[in-house]
Amino acid sequence: RAEDGYWLWLRYDELPQEMRSQYRGQLRQIVLETEETPTVSVAARELSDGLSGLLGRNVPVSDEGARGAILLVTGEAASLYDLDLSDLGEDGYLLRTLTDGRRKLTVIAANEDDGLLYGVFHLLRLVQTGEDISDLNITSVPRIDIRVLNHWDNLDRTVERGYAGQSIWDWHKLPDYIDPRYTDYARANASIGINGTVLTNVNANATVLTPPYIEKVAAVADTMRPYGIQVYLTARFSAPIEIGGLETADPADPAVQAWWAGKADEIYRKIPDFGGFLVKADSEGQPGPHTYHRTHAEGANMLADAVAPHGGVVMWRAFVYSENNPVDRHMQAYDQFVPLDGKFRSNVIIQTKNGAIDFQPREPFHPLFGAMPETPLGMEFQITKEYLGFATHLAYLAPMWSEVLRADTFVKGEGSTVAKIIDGSLEGHEISAMAGVSNIGSDRNWTGSQFDQANWYAFGRLAWDPAAEPAEIAEDWVRMTFTGDDGAVGTILGMMMESREAVVNYMTPLGLGHLMGTGHHYGPAPWVSELGRPEWNPVYYHKADEDGIGFDRTKSGSNAVAQYSDAVAAEFADLEAVPEEYLLWFHHVSWDYEMPSGRTLWEELVHRYTEGVRTVSGWRGEWASLEGRIDEGRYRQVADFLRVQEKEARWWRDACLAYFMSLNGLDLPAGYAPPA
């Protein structure tokens, strides 16, 4: 049912007549000029089902290229149509309209079946959004090789930082029962170019590597395979002890190496296209090589050697967060990893969060990007909104991700963007990866809210093309998911494009971060100061006192700025030059500091918090104008969630401002109502 959001952006409801009519002479039947593999079959079926639904008439797969044919072409057949596939790689595709006399042919061509599948979804998207296809000439090739979801899903079906019900992986019933949802999951991912999924939490349980679980994983992998999706697992570093009967997990111990090599062989026997391992080691209590006085490189390389004969990779996380961290948590990953540059095997990717702390509503880009030129760095974004209001708050994340991807590291002069480091082009790497921590669960609407589907969608589109425009991605999503009505599209798009900044404003404006309640990370708790480790306390991050607020990361403080290239460090370290949005991230500033707006810092903070609330209140009215223009079920849920968000935006504003006032003794500036 459309009303509960189950069909995501793949709704295929009949288009209104005025949108459909343009496709009349085209798109009448599907002709395969390629071998009918499992992937080609699912591609052809998707296209047939999708177009039949959208156009309100049967669009069958047929044998002859008669009128209005859509040709699915791979390999040599491409030369019949004069198509050059040489630059498409494995996953790229062409969409072309060819004219044969008076007839129009629509061609989807690729080297490999996966490319064809991606091309099919692109054509469907064009029709879903009512685009003109009478003269197509599109070439699309992904910039990133490994476009992967990370499920933080536990084997008991709880999901760490998951706000959409239980894990979709029903381990108890696998491998004998394959939930049809897995197929819809695979379709949705393939439709946005995602080609990998890590099924298990980085806080890993070694049980998933035991034989009965490998059977279960193999059954999931069999379901994913036709959709071009490879399955990966998290590897618990101490697994050789826990399930292997060894006394050590020391990566230099030959018995440990042999255990992992044997484990990899065992997995690949059941799952020949297994992707590899994702590892969180020596971080937040997870086991790792440091126990044995070995480095991250020695740990990662051991696993890399185990999967290398099978073509697998190791995604080793740079999120290290441990106690030996006296001055600034911001600096830990850089300090541990930069000395290891050049020491990793070629099938290791260092998976790095976008920022150095932890998925805050806004963080400057992570200083590791550009600092390890010999090593492929993968991006880890968090799709699930751990720090941005869980499932109820509307926050469209593509603008945030895009901000990081476009950030300039200046490591090789101007234009050394994070995107070019991730895609391997700046430093000439063979493999590239982008991971998104999944927001998917067993909820009927998959993600816990209608709008969180957009974040899953946008992640895939940005992993394919990090330069894609967030607003264009959002518009496609709105048209496919909600409505093609231009007025309504404009309203929804406007809300989405404001949303991330609104959350920054009512939670952590001007470069503040981590003011959330420790542990759950939901509401405000900037006053918490008494927890065991310094960085567990929000006061550690804002350092507010009677005189001012902010974390001095310049020379007079932790000097974390020195981890960036000279040009970036100089900008961030200079109070006059630092972008306003990172001000308190890098500087401790007095409450009466004059801001570019002419307001004092205190007035500006009050203004931002107030703006955040005002924006959310405004959306409630805008959303109300859509009543009756989108289905009742989704309309209601969003309306209710916006009410929650408005209430909680006020909570954030009032709690933070009241707390800061208790320190600085200042009043609210004239014109701002006192907190209720």
Q: Which of 37, 41, 52, 203 binds ligand GCW (CB under 6 A)?
A: 203
Q: Which is nearer to ligand GCW, 166 or 203 (CB)?
A: 203
**Secondary structure (3-state) at 151:** coil
**Secondary structure (3-state) at 74:** strand
Q: Which of 145, 358, 476, 648 binds ligand GCW (CB under 6 A)?
A: 358
- Nearest residue to 506 via CA among 655, 332, 663: 655
Contact 246/252 with Cβ under 8 angstroms?
A: no
535 is an interface residue for ligand GCW by CB under 6 A? no
Q: Which is nearer to ligand GCW, 328 or 386 (CB)?
A: 386
Considering only CA atoms, give the Rg of the chain.
Answer: 26
* CA distances in angstroms from 260 to 238, 253, 254, 266, listed in the order given: 11, 11, 10, 10
Q: Is 358 a catalytic residue?
A: yes
359 is an interface residue for ligand GCW by CB under 6 A? yes
Q: Name the active-site residue from 284, 472, 545, 640.
A: 284
Lateral strand order in the sheet of 61-62: 61-62, 29-33, 69-74, 103-110, 93-100, 137-140
Contact 193/238 with Cβ under 8 angstroms?
A: no
Q: Is 386 a catalytic residue?
A: yes
Binding residues for ligand GCW, rule CB under 6 A, total: 11
Q: Which is nearer to ligand GCW, 541 or 619 (CB)?
A: 541
Smallest gap, in angstroms, from Cβ of residue 521 to ligand GCW? 6
Q: Which of 161, 296, 330, 587 binds ligand GCW (CB under 6 A)?
A: 161
Task: Give the bridge partners for 627, in sequence order.
Answer: 630
Q: Which is nearer to ligand GCW, 159 or 219 (CB)?
A: 159
Cβ neighbours of residue 223 closer than 8 Å, sequence gap 6 or more? 178, 182, 183, 186
Binding mask 378-417 for ligand GCW (x = CB under 6 A): --------x-------------------------------
Residue at token pair 């290891």: 340
202 is an interface residue for ligand GCW by CB under 6 A? yes
Binding mask 302-341 for ligand GCW (x = CB under 6 A): -----------------x----------------------
Q: Name the active-site residue from 328, 386, 475, 648.
A: 386
Smallest gap, in angstroms, from Cβ of residue 294 to ligand GCW? 20
Q: What is the dihedral of CA 660, 662, 664, 669, to 10 degrees?
A: 70
Q: Is 284 a catalytic residue?
A: yes
Q: Which own/partner contact pairs does 530-534 have at CB distance under 8 Å and 24+ positions apart?
A: 533/323
522 is an interface residue for ligand GCW by CB under 6 A? no
Q: Which is nearer to ligand GCW, 7 or 337 (CB)?
A: 337
Q: What is the dihedral of CA 178, 179, 180, 183, to 10 degrees?
A: -70
Q: Which of 90, 160, 266, 298 binds ligand GCW (CB under 6 A)?
A: 160
62 is an interface residue for ligand GCW by CB under 6 A? no
Q: Which is nearer to ligand GCW, 487 or 519 (CB)?
A: 519
Q: Which is nearer to ligand GCW, 439 or 664 (CB)?
A: 439
How many helices (DSSP H) and strands (DSSP E) are in the chain?
Answer: 20, 16
Binding mask 266-285 for ligand GCW (x = CB under 6 A): --------------x---x-
Q: Provide the sign of the torsion angle of the four alpha carbons 25, 29, 30, 32, taken in this order.
A: negative
* CA distances in angstroms from 221 to 114, 265, 304, listed in the order given: 15, 16, 21
Residues annotated catalytic, as ranges: 284, 358, 386
Binding residues (CB under 6 A) for ligand GCW: these are 152, 160-161, 202-203, 280, 284, 319, 358-359, 386
